[in-house]
Amino acid sequence: MEPLIKVENLWHIYPVGNVTALRDVSLNINRGELIGVIGQNGSGKTTLVKHFVGLLKPTRGKVYIDGEDTAPLKVQQLAAKVGYVYQNPNHQLFARTVQAELEFGPTNLGLPEDEVAERVEQAIKFFGLEDLRDLHPYRIGFPLRKLVGMASIYTMKPDIFILDEPTTGQDNITTRKVYHLIEKLRDEGATVLCVAHDMILLAEVVERMLVLRDSELIMDGTPRQVFSNHEVMASTHITPPQITILSLRLRKDQQTLDDVVLSVDEMIELTKQSNTGKK
Amino acid sequence: MSDKKPIIEFKGVTFWYGGANDKPAIKNINLTIHEGEYVALLGLNGAGKTTLQLCINGVIPNSIMGEFEGEVIVYGNDTYDTPVREMAKFVGMVFDNPEFQLSQMSVAEEIALGMESLGFSYDEMTKTITEVLEIVGLRGLEDRSPFGLSGGQQQRLSIASALAMRPKILVMDEPTSNVDPIGKEEIFAVAEQLNREKNMTVIMAEHEVEVMAAYADIVVVMHEGEILLNGTPEEVFSNVDLIHKLGLRMPQVTEYAHRLNQLNLASIKKPYPVTLDSAVERFKDIL
């Protein structure tokens, strides 16, 4: 099967200051994958995903979305396929009501009115925004405003969602809600990329991680592989979830990937297995 | 703790942003904080953490409109009738979004800004700028634009600006929520160093419970404007059921200890371990 996103030897050099932001990155992403993109600010992760939306074009190399070379495509042409949800919803929202905000995308895609209305209803239901539809986006709190940002992309039904720090500034309850929504998006068939520093999101929700450091893709693997790679963790200053580190420290000698736990639930399972083994 | 000097006292403090008919943002707060303590404030968004923090430097009730009841005493000063400018000598504030706090053309000017309003001399200002930049690890960036710094650097600059006023208390409101992992490490390290080496009192609102459990002496849990728990991390995080009920997270190792007990997989006595090192020690034979 043709990958949904195909990146071939991608280089990006920002003309101002001649800064190399991406150096020879190659990767494939298949339909339905749920992926985390991690690395420090300035490592190249935002530069990478901006190529998928058409906001940036390769200096060298190729990016294909659904088999199509993105180089000649405009952002508007990609909007039906790829949606970008900003970290700060204020950079994205501008309409006077939530309802109008949600109508904007599909209307802009040239869809008929009844189709637009149907998609808005679907988005309101999916994100649980029933009580907010007539409010000004700036009148609602930050956590819900972020959901409105996601919903306004959802109405365009893109194949690919790119979520920039979807849980930043959220408390535990809204964070859990966002995790659930990300999984639901994937269950509906979407491909989701989360650019994130939230390690619990990466451990418990995503299935594959792309690690960038100094403009290079230094690792592409499962959360278990990435979190147990000491060299990658240390050189990117990323701290795995506390329970993952606990499992690594308790099983220092006989470490297989199965011993690397990603959640408290998994740690409990591992303890049960170990108890059975002892008896 | 009893030999430590109480420096912040909340006595029956209630504050309404609107009139007294609305729901108060904080309700009947009684809280004593001692000199040199590192206090973590936990709670969901809207629990009242920011409101409580704004009472410490007197911005509430002096600069923010609303209804105020009770008393906040900081180093013997009643915040109700002490000008905020005067309170700045005791309390430095750092907020979650550094961009909101930065306004000047250079790092040095940014720090000078607060000092000018307090009437420091030029020599004192130069000396202080060097000193506080040293503390937060930004020496050499004096002439850079604050807006060209990384998020972690900007936040450390906010801390430096607060330190320039020589406060005894540093109040931080989710200072790491907009920075990357290196930035987080840097900010937590500076706060910890100030607390440990300079005996600065730190009052930090944060969602990073694992970090707070490791650094804080005292954890205060707020919910709907009230303080529900107040104690050492071990005491507070042993109240597992309440913390779950409030929708808050606890350190993952503590959660694990609790589940081991519940499922009869092991008998873990309270207080539960709250830090990684103590958990490694307690669980070393469990797998």
Which pLDDT score is estimated for B196? Answer: 96
pLDDT band with cut points at 50, 70 and 90 for residue A279:
low
CA angle B262, B263, B264 (to 5 degrees): 95
Contact B253 A242 (CB under 8 A): yes
Distance from CA of B75 to the nearest CA of A (A): 32
Residue-wise DSSP of B22-54: S--SEEEEEEEEETT-EEEEE--TTSSHHHHHH
- Asked if the structure places residue B188 within a domain, the reply is yes
The answer to whether residue B284 sits within a structural domain is no
Q: What is the mean pLDDT of chain A?
A: 93
What is the distance in angstroms between the Cα of A222 and the nearest Cα belonging to chain B? 20
Q: In terms of residues, how long is chain A?
A: 279
Residues β-bridged to residue A216: A213
Question: B234 CB contacts (<8 Å, ≥6 apart)?
Answer: B271, B272, B274
Q: How many residues are given for chain B?
A: 287
pLDDT at A278: 65
Contact call for B247 and A173, based on CB within 8 A: yes
Higher local confidence (pLDDT), B207 or A208: A208
Residue B259 domain-assigned (yes or no): no
Whether A249 and chain B come into contact, CB under 8 Å, resolves to yes
- Chain A residues in contact with B151 (beta carbon < 8 A): 41
Residue B266 maps to a domain: no
- Examine the pLDDT at B121 and tell me if it is beyond 60: yes
B252 near A CB under 8 A? yes
Is B149 within the bounds of a domain?
A: yes
Residue A273 has pLDDT above 60, yes or no: yes
A170: chain B residues, CB-CB within 8 Å: 45
Nearest CA in chain A to B213: A242
What is the extent of the structural domain holding B45?
A: 6-250
Q: For position A143, what pLDDT does the model report?
A: 83
Predicted pLDDT at A252: 76
Residues 194-233 of A with CB under 8 A from B: 197
Residue A272 CB neighbour total at 10 angstroms:
12
Alpha carbon of A69: minimum distance to chain B alpha carbons (Å): 32
DSSP structure class, residue B137: T
Euclidean distance between CA atoms B224 and B222, whole angstroms = 7
Q: Quick check: A91 pLDDT over 90? A: no
Nearest CA in chain A to B176: A169
Mutate to test the interface with A, among B180, B222, B254, B258 (most CBs of A within 10 A): B180
Q: Count how many Cα atoms sit within 13 Å of the Cα of residue B67 in the half-sphere of its side chain.
A: 12
User: What φ, ψ does residue B190 adopt, rounded to 5°?
Assistant: -65, -45
Determine the residue of chain A that is closest to B185 in CA distance.
A237
**B71-94: average pLDDT:** 94
% of chain A exceeding 70 in pLDDT: 99
Over chain B, what is the mean pLDDT? 92
Q: Does B257 touch chain A (CB under 8 A)?
A: no
User: For A142-164, what is the mean pLDDT?
Assistant: 93
The number of domains in chain B is 1
- Confidence label for A71 from pLDDT (cuts 50, 70 and 90): very high
Which helix (H) or strand (E) is A106 found in, with range? helix A98-108
Average pLDDT over every residue of B97-114: 84
Distance from CA of A162 to the nearest CA of B (A): 18
The answer to whether position B89 is within a domain reads yes
Do the chains contact at B287 and A143, CB–CB below 8 Å? no
Pairing of strands A160-164, A82-85: parallel
Contact (CB<8Å) A270/B287? yes
Mean pLDDT over residues B248-253, rounded?
A: 96
Alpha-carbon radius of gyration of chain A: 20
Contact state of B265 with A141 under an 8 Å Cβ cutoff? no
Contacts of A264 in chain B (CB under 8 A): 252, 255-256, 259
| Candidate from A40, A174, A245 with C-beta closest to B182 | A40
pLDDT at B2: 52
Q: Which of B45, B96, B185 sits opposite A237 (nearest CB)?
A: B185
- Give the range among A140-149, B16-25, B259-268 with minimum mean pLDDT: B16-25
Res. A193: pLDDT tops 70: yes
Model confidence pLDDT, tens digit, residues B172-191: 999 988 788 888 888 999 99
Chain B partners of A271 at a C-beta cutoff of 8 Å? 260, 265-266, 286-287
Domain assignment present for residue B261? The answer is no
Nearest to B255 among A251, A264, A274 (CB): A264
Judged against a pLDDT cut of 90, whether residue B210 lies above it is answered with yes
For chain B, give the percent of residues with pLDDT over 70.
Answer: 98
Say which residue the tokens 């790092």 belong to.
B107
Residue B191 sits in a domain whose CATH number is 3.40.50.300
Number of A–B residue contacts, CB under 8 Å: 90
- Please tell me if residue A86 touches chain B, with a CB cutoff of 8 Å: no
**Residues from chain B contacting residue A238 (CB–CB below 8 Å):** 181
Query: Is B257 among the domain residues?
Result: no
- Residue A257 — pLDDT band, cuts 50, 70, 90? confident
Q: CA–CA separation, A27 vs B50, rounded Å?
A: 44
B155-164 pLDDT tens trace: 899 999 999 9
Across B191-200, average pLDDT: 95
Q: Is B180 on the interface with A (CB under 8 A)?
A: yes
Q: Is B142 on the interface with A (CB under 8 A)?
A: no
pLDDT tens digits along A197-251 = 999 999 999 999 999 999 999 999 999 999 999 999 999 999 999 999 999 999 8
Over residues A15-56, the pLDDT tens digits come to 888 899 999 999 999 999 999 999 988 899 999 999 999 999
Cβ A142–B177 below 8 Å, yes or no? no
